[in-house]
Amino acid sequence: MRSVYMDHSATTPVKPEVVEAMLPYFTEIYGNASSVHAFGREARKGVMSARNTIAEYIGASVDELFFTAGGTESDNWAIRGVAHANKQKGNHIITTTIEHHAVLHVCEMLEKEGFEVTYLKTDADGLISLKDLEAAIQPSTILISIMAVNNEIGTIQPIEEIGQIAKKHGVLFHTDAVQALGKIELDVNKQNIDLMSFSAHKLYGPKGIGALYVRKGTRIKNLMDGGAQEKKRRPGTENVPGIIGFGKAVELAAEGFEENNARLIRLRDKMIAGIEATIPYIRLNGHRTKRHPGNVNFCFEFIEGESLLLSLDLVGIAASSGSACTSGSLDPSHVLMAIGLTHEIAHGSLRLSLGEFTTDEDVDYVIEQLKPIVERLRSYSPLYEKATGGTR
Ligand SMILES: *Cc1c(COP(=O)(O)O)cnc(C)c1O
């Protein structure tokens, strides 16, 4: 049976070149990057080179990039760290209803501590309104945290315009760019970004390594106490192989940026068109063009997303419904609810996220398999029978 991985927004395979770059750092160059001896110096050299690659790619300087254990830590650090360091200035934070839980749950914790949080609503495509954003800014606003690209529905926010508004009002701007890195252009100066979160495993790098960009001069508290690593900002022995892998993944993403994304967009749009042409009673979630190059997300009326996933799994197709982090709970995705879908419709959602190794044959296979599965599942639904007048 064919095996087709359509869940790249959950995680990506590690590219062979990335593994190859990492291997020596497990076995030969295993020194602690903080040690003074030759083993340590070699490891440190690798870390510096990776930091340089990533910083350069986003237009930052090397002393503004701090390695973390991934996107979740970077989001936690950015929001909690800025909130706690700027308490005297104000207690108001602006974010959106469609953020990743690594942002939303931190904001909820801060509310319990006395911070005030405005959760901006989006339109039906998942786009925030710049007018609403500007209207929400108060003298006590210390931080705007808005994701660059949504992980469920793929919608791309106007981060350059958001950055301009933040700058005009003297408010710090954090963006969760975990899904954006390598997929859309990111430039901390052009886009007026003060803090930006990354994760390597969404970009064909290893899991458990990420980074936070922090603009020079930004007031931010540390999340943890410990050693003097990362300029005394983020303690803990550096994950050297992870950092090397992250650097290599970014290098490859930079090299292939235009070609890979043009190819992904072509396959994405072929998938969307193929599904729309063969299956009725569906809704494309997310903006049709301001969209992650590999994201396809549909709601199928009269169907449970979970049954759809299981049926797809039986024919070798790996996809997701809602977000991977919330599977197991019965609540529909908070993102689909936030864009105004009903519980019923939101429950029938399917995210197919394509990646650099996805082929035309993979896309054809999914389109071909999906139609009979959807028809079979719908045939069990009394509502479907009613809606179609029992003619099917
Ligand atoms: C995956 C993801 C995260 C979490 O990153 P981890 O490295 O898995 O902790 C945060 N934000 C977004 C948008 C993501 O897609």
What is the per-residue pLDDT for 328? 54
CA–CA separation, 228 and 74 (whole Å): 18
325, pLDDT greater than 50: no
pLDDT in tens, 199-210: 999 999 999 999
CB 126 within 8 Å of CB 287: yes
Classify strands 282-284 and 295-300 as parallel, antiparallel or unpaired. Answer: antiparallel
Which residue CA neighbors atom 3 of ligand 1 most closely?
Answer: 71
Which atom of ligand 1 sits closest to the CA of residue 147? 13
- Give SS3 for 67: strand
The structural domains of the chain, ordered by start, are 4-12+257-388 (3.90.1150.10), 16-255 (3.40.640.10)
- E strands in the chain: 4-5, 65-68, 92-96, 116-120, 141-145, 172-176, 195-199, 210-214, 282-284, 295-300, 317-318, 349-353
Residue position matching structure tokens 């994304």:
261
Choice among 265, 325, 337, 387 that is catalytic: 325
**Cβ-Cβ contacts under 8 Å for 267 (sequence gap 6 or more):** 294, 354, 358, 360, 363
**What mean pLDDT is predicted for residues 346-356?**
96
CA of 278 to the centre of ligand 1 (A): 33
327, pLDDT greater than 80: no
Cβ neighbours, 10 Å, residue 261: 19
Q: Which DSSP category does 15 fall into?
A: P
The answer to whether 287 is annotated as binding is: no
322, pLDDT greater than 90: no
Name the pLDDT band for 48 (thresholds 50, 70, 90): very high
Residue position matching structure tokens 């609403």:
132
Which tokens is 274 given? 């193929």
Which residue CA neighbors atom 15 of ligand 1 most closely?
Answer: 151
pLDDT in tens, 18-35: 999 999 999 999 999 999
Taking CB atoms and a 6 Å cutoff, what residues make up the pocket around ligand 1? 70-72, 75, 100, 102, 147, 151, 176, 178-179, 199, 201-202, 210
CA–CA separation, 44 and 55 (whole Å): 16
180, pLDDT greater than 50: yes
Query: Exposed/middle/buried for 263, CB within 10 Å: 0-12, 13-18, 19+?
Result: middle
Tell which phi-psi region holds residue 208, choosing left (phi > 0), alpha (psi between -120 and 50) or beta.
Answer: left
Which element (helix H / strand E) includes 337?
helix 334-338
**What mean pLDDT is predicted for residues 134-163?**
98
Name the pLDDT band for 385 (thresholds 50, 70, 90): confident
The answer to whether 72 is annotated as binding is: yes
356, pLDDT greater than 80: yes
Which tokens is 148 given? 């660059």
- Give SS3 for 302: coil
- 107 included as an active-site residue: no
392, pLDDT greater than 60: no
What is the per-residue pLDDT for 248? 98
CA–CA separation, 105 and 102 (whole Å): 6
pLDDT in tens, 212-271: 999 999 999 999 999 999 999 999 999 999 999 999 999 999 999 999 999 999 999 999
Among 68, 99, 100, name the best residue to mutate to test ligand 1's pocket (greatest count of ligand atoms within 8 A of Cβ). Answer: 100
- Give SS3 for 213: strand
CB 140 within 8 Å of CB 92: yes
Range of weakest confidence among 159-168, 292-301, 341-350? 341-350
CA–CA separation, 152 and 295 (whole Å): 8
Please tell me the pTM assigned to this model.
0.96
Percent of the chain with pLDDT over 70: 97
CB contact burial 52-63 (16+ within 10 A = b; e otherwise): ebbbebbbbeee
**What mean pLDDT is predicted for residues 91-101?**
98
CA–CA separation, 103 and 298 (whole Å): 24
- Give SS3 for 29: coil
What is the per-residue pLDDT for 49? 98
Which tokens is 253 given? 């993403």
The answer to whether 151 is annotated as binding is: yes
